[in-house]
Structures are given as C-alpha cells and as structure tokens.
Amino acid sequence: GAGVSQSPSNKVTEKGKDVELRCDPISGHTALYWYRQSLGQGLEFLIYFQGNSAPDKSGLPSDRFSAERTGGSVSTLTIQRTQQEDSAVYLCASSLATTGGYEQYFGPGTRLTVT
C-alpha cells in the first residue's frame, strides 16, 4: 500500500519568507509526527498529533513554527519568517497509535534550504 508522502521534496526559500510543508500519512494511521534533521545530526522531535487529541507541541523550537492536521489525515507544517538555521530535512512519520508499541513509518522528507 501507499506509504507516507511529503511535498515538496525540496524547497529553497529566501530568509524571511513563509513556507508550508505537507505530509500525507498512511491511511488509517491515527498518529502523525514531525521531526527535523540537520546535516549529520539526529532527529529532533517537533510535534505529534494523535487522533482528535490536542497535539503535543513541546518540540517546536519557536513560535514561528506551527502545524495543523485537518480531518485527522493530512498535516501541514508552517514556518513563518524563515531563518537560515531553519535549513534542514523535515521528516514526517505516522503510526497506528502512540501506545502499544506501534512502529513509526517515515516519509522521504522535505529538504528545506533558506538562503
């Protein structure tokens, strides 16, 4: 079946512009996660959504970052007034749930470059 998809695959933007990154999770997966990975670094947790519960935003690095998930499916991560330090690969993952040991499946990521 279809895996997690993300768009765009690459995004180059100028400092100060806003960007939107999209994630389509695996159908039926109730949990959705966003991570950020800078070159040569580990995964940095940003936010996760579980069903209709309020999202856990504890990993968002600043108030320039926000995310929403409409209809329990597609999610959009928005970065306002982008800075050069926002350059990274943004990864989305989904899982059946957040309890019971369900595995996360990742999309291919969006490579964001802020010039």
Partner 1 sequence: RKEVEQDPGPFNVPEGATVAFNCTYSNSASQSFFWYRQDCRKEPKLLMSVYSSGNEDGRFTAQLNRASQYISLLIRDSKLSDSATYLCVVNFSTGGFKTIFGAGTRLFVKA
Binding interface with partner 1 (CB under 8 A) = 33, 35, 41-43, 45, 48, 50, 56, 91, 98-109
Chain centroid, CA 73 distance in Å: 13
**Least distance in angstroms from the C-beta of 64 to partner 1:** 23
DSSP symbol at 93: E
The strand pairing partners of 33, in sequence order, are 48, 93
Nearer to partner 1, 77 or 91 (CB): 91
**Least distance in angstroms from the C-beta of 107 to partner 1:** 6
Nearer to partner 1, 43 or 74 (CB): 43
**Least distance in angstroms from the C-beta of 91 to partner 1:** 6
The closest of 30, 43, 33, 31 to 6, measured between CA atoms, is 33
Structural tokens at position 97: 């749930």
